[in-house]
């Protein structure tokens, strides 16, 4: 947990091309796509297993996979491949993975 917090703070404060990481519109779009993919992965896994830990892992993995597939697509079509884009997409999945349990009703 501490490592995730440190990674998030690090990524949010590093400077890339004179802009902070999340001020770049491209990274914001990747973060949003990761949050959507992470939410869908979380819901699918939770509905199937009823286990929050598995659902969290599935959500993060699905957001990572979406980011990786997008960058593979970029590499095949002549686009710019950036590891930061994969990181932003994965961070979106992490953010939603930590947020969803906050709104779940306790039984």
Check whether 21 has a pLDDT greater than 80.
no
* Helical spans, DSSP H, in the chain: 2-13, 25-49, 52-77, 83-103
What's the pLDDT band for 23 if we cut at 50, 70, 90?
A: confident
CA 66 – CA 102 distance, rounded (Å): 24
For residue 9, the model assigns a pLDDT of 61
CA 83 – CA 41 distance, rounded (Å): 22
Check whether 17 has a pLDDT greater than 70.
no
Task: Give tens-digit pLDDT for 35-84.
Answer: 999 999 999 999 999 999 999 999 999 999 999 999 999 999 988 899 99
């Amino acid at each position: 947990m501490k490592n995730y917090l440190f990674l998030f703070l690090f990524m949010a404060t590093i400077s890339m091309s004179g802009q902070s990481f999340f001020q770049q519109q491209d990274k914001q779009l990747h973060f949003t796509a990761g949050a959507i993919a992470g939410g869908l992965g979380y819901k699918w896994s939770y509905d199937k297993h009823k286990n929050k830990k598995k659902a969290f892992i599935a959500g993060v993995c699905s957001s990572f996979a979406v980011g990786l597939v997008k960058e593979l697509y970029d590499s095949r079509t002549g686009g710019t491949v950036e590891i930061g884009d994969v990181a932003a997409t994965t961070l979106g999945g992490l953010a939603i993975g930590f947020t969803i349990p906050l709104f779940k009703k306790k039984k």
